[in-house]
Structure 1
Amino acid sequence: MTTRELDVCSTMNCQEKIKVKILSDQDSWNLFKEKAGVAETDELAREVAKECKGLPLAIVTVARALKGKDSHVWKTALRELRTSRPTNIKNVDKDLYSRLELSYSYIESEEAKSCFLFCCLFPEDYNIEIRYLMLYLVGERVFKDVDNLQEAWDTTQTVVDKLKDSCLLLNGDKEGHVKMHDIVRDVAIWIASREEHGFVVKAGVELKVRSEKLEQCKRLSLMRCSNSVLPEQQISPHLQTLLLSHNYALKEVPNNFFQPMKELLVLDLSETYISSLPPSLPCLSSLRTLCLDRCKELHDLSLLKGLVNLEILTLVETKIEELPIEIGDLANLKLLDLTDTRKLKRVPPNVISKLRKLEELYMRDSFGGWEVRGSSGDGSNAGFDEVASLSRLTVLHIHIDDFKCFSLDFPGWENLKKFSIFHMEMKIERFFWFLSDEIDPKFQSACGNYMNVEIISYPICKWVKVLFGRSEGIVLRGVCTNITHLLDDEGRGFNNLKILHLIRCHEMEHITSRSSLLPPLTFQNLQVLTIRFCSRLKNLLPWNLARGLQNLEHLRFYQCDELEVMISVDEEEHELGVLPRLKILELLGLLKLRNVCYSQNGGGGGSHLSLHFPSLEYIGVSGCPNLKRLPIGPQNAPKLVLLRGEEAWFQGLEWEDESVKSHLLPLFLLGTAVTVKLHRRLPDD
């Protein structure tokens, strides 16, 4: 059976679901040629077939409509297909558009229908960022039953997934984006241009003629217009959404341009080269969403003061040097995005704290000069306590220069669900370089809430502990004065962790205190653990901690001078079911490492324990002269292995099965730092 709706497959309990992809160029041409009855050498017909973009329904409908027609009809059809106006091709509107409109008509949710129509505002073949889609829909109050931005985001994701399941949207070329098939977009424009919807879409074309529709429209897209000239005629006073983004030649908006747009709700001027906001901007008293991202010549934002109903303001990658005090007058603001505003050096006191309704604050790779507490002195910056006072915050991405902010407790943030807190001398680029250099990208995308902290002292204040407990990724760098272990005696605060890095924590001796009897679910979600340059760390993973690492996949130790044992147990364990999912193990520069797993017997002696990692795909060893045994059994031999060091060290290793050594020895002799394929291959190797 076939269906446009993925849900139908689930309802019918289909055992296998096969998505029908668009046709290749050759298959498209073969189908078109058959239905149109044209010759292989007909280049005009081939060009028309290409404009059907591999969609079988479009190919069949257009081919049948043009079969037997004169060449001038074919040329007209080609021109209209290229300009998304196939109104003069007999039966195309009726047979193609009306059939594709069925998928739209079958959508039960009015919110999903609105989302679909808003997608046609973007240029052809455009990667639509779902985030912007959400900002537009929120501005127009499309979602009727949501109380906050998080609910709006969840609803947007839900309707986008529904549209993808209905094949009305496609996955974009990168995460968080979607695309529209060209023919589907044409149908969306055809539907949206009806009077009840009032869309006028001129995205990606040259605006050069007067249009009566401009005087009546409700939503107007002039994105990426090739001439970047704003229309001189009056635009509808009932306009609700206006998209002017990606017009790189647009340097000035006429002074009175916005004056008649009293009902405008959404305005996007992103990626234009305007240097100032037009004097008529305060006339937009109904405006709820304003996007000014990457307006790199824009400096003066004082005219924002009049936008009393503004809820969303984005200033990503702008070059503003000081946050204008007028932003403090935007009492209804729910989202403020200052990501990558690298020149921002001053946030005046008593601006941020006035934004009592703020739910989302983005300041990653931006201003970090928060004072610990606010000051009224001339030239001073806002205090970090102003940010902490925003009780409605659910999303916070921020950089903090002064480590003293981590030493004082602040109230609030009970609703904080998504966050990234950075405190380090080097900016965020170094953090992402560190992650991308050593971690599979899937772990980066899986890690939502994270903290990257450098130099905090003990005892750790309450708000830091609370966010540690909610974090999925933690990087502690040069940290922990007087802190000899990471976990407290109750083992609290790390059950959500997926990624943990400890770097240059020179006073840390243990992950957990010696007396800890940890709950069984501590570190239950940890997938990546990296320890670097922790010079006092001797015993990394006690048995009561290691046994809980059921999801650990990457384990790396670098330059830990005192590390002797990776996993230790107090009493002999006959069945060691630890690290069942471990895929990558790296042991680099561990001069005193003697054993991977070691048992400390009651009589004072000790013994090496057999420990196999059933999912191991890669092991890297370098600079571990005292390591005598590797955790490689017969079941691990036919897997990818990296060995570095002297042949004598390799020959001196003890093996549980000589067949393992015979597998690896010829490969080891190929040279140092050699990656060898045995039976399996890791991605990108």
Structure 2
Amino acid sequence: MHDVVRDFAHWITSTGEKMFMVKNELTEWPNSENFDCYTAISLWNSKIDNFPERLEFSKLKTLILSGRDYQIVPSTFFEGMKALQILFLERHVFSMEAFQFLKNLRILRIVRCGLQEDISSLRNLKNLEFLEWNSVHFEELPEELLELRRLKSLYFSCFGDGPINVPPNLLSRLTSLQELHVPRDNNANLLELNSLSRLTTLTLIVSTDQCFQENFVFPKLQSYSIAVNAYIEFPEKRISRILTISDCSSLNAFKELFPNVQKLTLFKVMEHKTVVPNVDQWELNELTSLQLTSCDDLECLIDTTWEQSPTTAFSNLVNLDIGGKELECLIDTTLGHVSTNAFFNLVELVIEEMTGLKMLCNGQFPKGFLQKLEKLTTRNCMEMVSLSPALQNLKEVKVINCGQLQEVFQIDEFLHDTKENQGLLLSNLTLMELNSLPALENIWKEPTHLVSLQSLKDVKVDGCDKLKSIFSPCLTQSLLHLEQLKISACKKLEQVFAFAQDMAEFAVPLISPSFL
């Protein structure tokens, strides 16, 4: 439940004498000699065809009516609820005229309801602080909202495919608003947001034209999900600040949001060759999830030749999903200084459709590079030659259709720094899938004594024409939990399991073609 609703509901239920009624799937109004004693009534999934015309609910403060077949609620039904402060209506049909009796209403949620007649009676709710109008047959923000001087939170979404009409100068006059949610296409003048000095939370779909008007810049916000030419993604408990930007070149409108954005998605965002510093000039300090798709001008994520390159670049990033034609590597350490924290906290890495990508890192891996990575997926990267360091925390690896890939795990990258890697490499790997890798010659090169496959359970190898062997003697001995092994279309494969000479008496013959 929304924070405002939750806190207010808690305040109501924590004061005074309380008596609740909670029912599910009722077909008729519940029988009771005295409804006057209830402070809260909650009826879920009901099919009540005949609501009473009027009952006395002098103490009722919370009412939840969730229907299934759009039953009609008579206007006089609410007449005896003058103390009501929270009202939730779902899948019912009613007239807004009924609300003329609800002078003390503070929270109103209307979800998938049919409204009879006009909504002019909305202006009578002078004490309303929270209004949700979700999936109703209205395509315009009503002017009556201007009468709600105490309104702090507004959620408005409607049926239909057309954009929501936001009358000019309406938003700018809702000066008490702290939260605004319009998760549909609309024609709002974004400059009006600058008049809302109390605004802290925003959910909004906008177009490129709306963002570019008169050098508009979004205000600083505590929580938001803003989508430009894209579908909205609703915030969740873990991630509450989200930007999704599509088909846009200038990012200046978002410069006040970049310092605290947690999830950033850029799709077909052109004219930017780097993320750092081009985008990171505003410092992406709290970024935990980054998705880059079809940003064809992107050449690298971090420009290490830039003298003022931030030392914290991508230090908090947990998820990275990336695709771009010109990108040759994630990071190039041959050109300049790179932060030791770059990609240190990354847990999941997805690389797709990167036709120019040759390697993850050009040059020596920075200290701590990808040390927390658990999932790695690489798909359709036709120029990639080498892939990943043999990381200790890695759990899942999927490499699919990378035509030039010659080696999967780069073990030799750790030989120079044995202190940093006191544990065995790949010791947490549980799944390995290698598919359509015609140039692959080695999954892992010697020395494999640094590697343990003690957790590996599932192995799939398909379409690796140049691969001659899979498990060296050291690796074979570490396969304690292998459950599934599928090998197919590996034309030059000679050996699956290799054994040391002193274990010859336990050796098994070459895996038969029928098994392969």
Measure the CA separation in 1 of the matches of 2:158 and 2:397.
Answer: 36
Q: In 1, distance between residues paired with 2:244 and 2:251?
A: 12
Partner of 1:302: 142
Name 1:478's counterpart in structure 2.
324
Give 1:266 shift. Answer: 1.0
Shift of 1:588: 1.3
Residue 171 of structure 2: which of 317, 327, 336 is its match?
327
Closer/same/farther in 2, CA of residues 449 and 611 from structure 1, 3 Å limit: closer
Superposition deviation, residue 198 in structure 1 = 1.8
Work out which of the residue numbers 471, 493, 499 in structure 2 matches 1:656.
499
Deviations 1:83-110 (A, max 9, x none): xxxxxxxxxxxxxxxxxxxxxxxxxxxx
SS at match of 2:241: strand
Question: Aligned partners of 2:179 and 2:374: how far apart in 1?
Answer: 32
Of 527, 532, 537, the residue aligned with 2:374 is: 527
Which amino acid in 2 is paired with 1:590? L
What is the letter of the counterpart of residue 370 of structure 1? T
Residue of structure 2 equivalent to 1:592: 439
- Whether contact under 8 Å (1:628, 1:654) holds in the other structure is no
Determine the C-alpha separation between the residues in 1 that align with 2:12 and 2:75.
33
Give 1:558's aligned amino acid. Answer: I
Report the counterpart of residue 142 of structure 1 in structure 2: 11
Counterpart of 1:312 (choices 133, 153, 170) is 153
Kept after mapping to 1: 8 A contact 2:311/2:341: no
Give the alignment partner of residue 230 of structure 1, picking from 73, 79, 85: 73
- Code of the residue aligned with 1:539 in structure 2: it is S
Q: Which amino acid aligns with 1:245?
A: E
Shift in Å, 1:645: 2.3
- Structure 1 residues 143 and 420, CA gap change in structure 2 (3 angstroms): farther
Structure richer in strand, relative to its length: 2
- The Cα offsets for residues 310-339 of structure 1, whole Å up to 9 and x where unpaired, read as 233334574450351523433333333344
State the match for 1:279 in structure 2.
120
Q: TM-score, normalised by structure 1?
A: 0.55
Aligned pair partner of 1:501 in 346, 350, 356: 350
Native 8 Å contact 2:382 2:402 kept in 1: yes
Cα displacement string for residues 87-142 of structure 1 (whole angstroms, at most 9, x for unaligned residues):
xxxxxxxxxxxxxxxxxxxxxxxxxxxxxxxxxxxxxxxxxxxx35x553245573
Pairwise CA distance, 1:242: 0.9
Contact 1:314 1:338 in 2 (8 A): yes
Specify the SS of the correspondent of 1:421.
strand
Question: What is aligned with 2:231?
Answer: none
Instruction: State the 1:655 CA deviation.
Output: 1.7
Q: How far 1:406 moved relative to its partner?
A: 5.1
After TM superposition, give the deviation of residue 293 of structure 1 in Å: 2.3
SS at structure 2 position matched to 1:259? helix
Counterpart residue type for residue 424 of structure 1: F
The CA distance in 2 between the partners of 1:612 and 1:327, in whole Å, is 61
Q: Distance in 2 between matches of 1:411 and 1:555?
A: 37
Alpha-carbon distance change, 244 to 411 in structure 1, aligned in 2, over 3 angstroms: closer
Among candidates 396, 400, 403, match of residue 245 of structure 2: 400
Partner of residue 582 from structure 1, selected from 429, 437, 452? 429
Residue 210 of structure 1 deviates from its aligned partner by 4.1
Distance across 1 between alignment mates of 2:490 and 2:358: 32
**1:46-82 CA distances to partner (integer Å, 9 max, x unpaired)?**
xxxxxxxxxxxxxxxxxxxxxxxxxxxxxxxxxxxxx
Q: Could you tell me whether the CA contact under 8 Å between 2:246 and 2:267 is conserved in 1? A: yes
- The amino acid of 2:139's aligned partner reads H
Q: CA deviation at 1:279?
A: 0.8
Number of corresponding residues: 439
Secondary structure, counterpart of 2:146 in structure 1: helix
- The structure-2 alpha-carbon separation of the partners of 1:261 and 1:496, relative to structure 1 and needing over 3 Å to count, comes to farther
Match of 1:362 in 2: 203
Identity among equivalent pairs (%): 16
Task: Output the TM-score relative to the length of structure 2.
Answer: 0.71
Deviation at 1:241, TM superposition (A): 0.6
Q: Report deviation, 1:361.
A: 3.1
SS of the equivalent of 1:224 reads strand
* Structure 2 unaligned spans of 5+: 14-21, 25-30, 225-239, 270-286, 303-307
Letter in 2 for 1:271: R
1:373 to partner: Cα distance? 5.3
From the superposition, tell whether residues 609 and 540 of structure 1 become closer, same or farther in structure 2 (CA, over 3 Å): farther
* Corresponding residue to 2:404 among 554, 559, 562: 562
Cα separation, 1, equivalents of 2:510 and 2:113: 60
The 3-state SS of whatever aligns with 1:374 is helix
- Structure 1, residues 422-448: CA drift from partner, whole Å, max 9, x if none? 33369xxxxxxxxxxxxxxxxxxxxx9
Cα–Cα, structure 1 residues 467 and 294, in superposed 2: closer, same or farther, change >3 Å?
farther
Partner of 1:390: 220
Q: Distance in 1 between matches of 2:456 and 2:87?
A: 54
Note if contact 1:556-1:586 (Cα within 8 Å) is conserved in structure 2.
yes
Judged with a 3 Å threshold, the aligned counterparts in structure 2 of structure 1 residues 369 and 625 are, in CA distance, closer, same or farther, namely: same
CA contact (8 A) 2:133 2:158 kept: no
Partner of 2:130: 289
**What do residues 191-229 of structure 1 show as CA deviations (whole Å, max 9, x unaligned)?**
xx784x622344425252245333552222222176622
1:537 to 2:378 alignment: no
Code of the aligned partner of 2:476: G
**2:328–2:356 contact (8 Å) kept in structure 1:** yes
* Structure 1 pair 236–359 and aligned structure 2 pair: CA distance change class (3 A): same
Equivalent position SS for 1:669: coil
The residue identity in structure 2 corresponding to 1:238 is A
C-alpha separation in 1, matches of 2:217 and 2:154: 19
**Contact kept? 1:200, 1:213, Cα under 8 Å:** no
Contact 2:23 2:43 (C-alpha < 8 Å) held by counterparts: no
Q: Which residue of 2 aligns with 1:676?
A: none
Structure 1 contact 353–390 (Cα < 8 Å) conserved:
no
Partner of 2:56: 213
Question: What secondary structure, in the 3-state scheme, does the structure 1 residue paired with 2:101 have?
Answer: coil
Q: Give the corresponding residue for 1:603.
A: none
- Aligned in 2, Cα 1:262/1:523: closer, same or farther, shift over 3 Å? farther
Correspondences of 1:607-646 after superposition (within 5 Å): 611-631=451-471, 633-636=476-479, 639-646=482-489
Amino acid at match of 2:223: L
Distance 1:397-1:313 versus aligned 2 partners, 3 A rule: farther
The amino acid that maps onto 2:399 is: F
The match for 2:362 among 497, 506, 513 is: 513
| 1:665 and 2:511 aligned | yes
Give, in angstroms, the shift of residue 240 of structure 1: 0.3
Structure 1 distance, partners of 2:352, 2:414, is: 31
| Contact 2:496–2:510 (Cα < 8 Å) also in 1 | no
Q: Is the 8 A contact 2:459 2:486 kept in 1?
A: yes
Match of 1:208, as an amino acid? F
Helix, strand or coil at the partner of 2:138: coil
2:295 equivalent to 1:450: no
Q: Secondary structure at the match of 2:424?
A: coil
Contact 2:424-2:450 at 8 Å conserved across structures: no
> CA 1:411–1:470 in 2, change beyond 3 Å: closer, same or farther?
same
The equivalent residue for 2:230 is: none
Secondary structure at the residue paired with 2:217? helix
CA displacement 1:325-376 (0-9 Å, x = unmatched): 523433333333344x3xx15443314444443333335xxx3523595324
State the match for 2:87 in structure 1. Answer: 242
Which of the two has greater helix per residue? Answer: 1
Which residue of 213, 228, 252 corresponds with 1:375? 213
- C-alpha contact (below 8 Å) 2:313/2:339 kept by paired residues: no
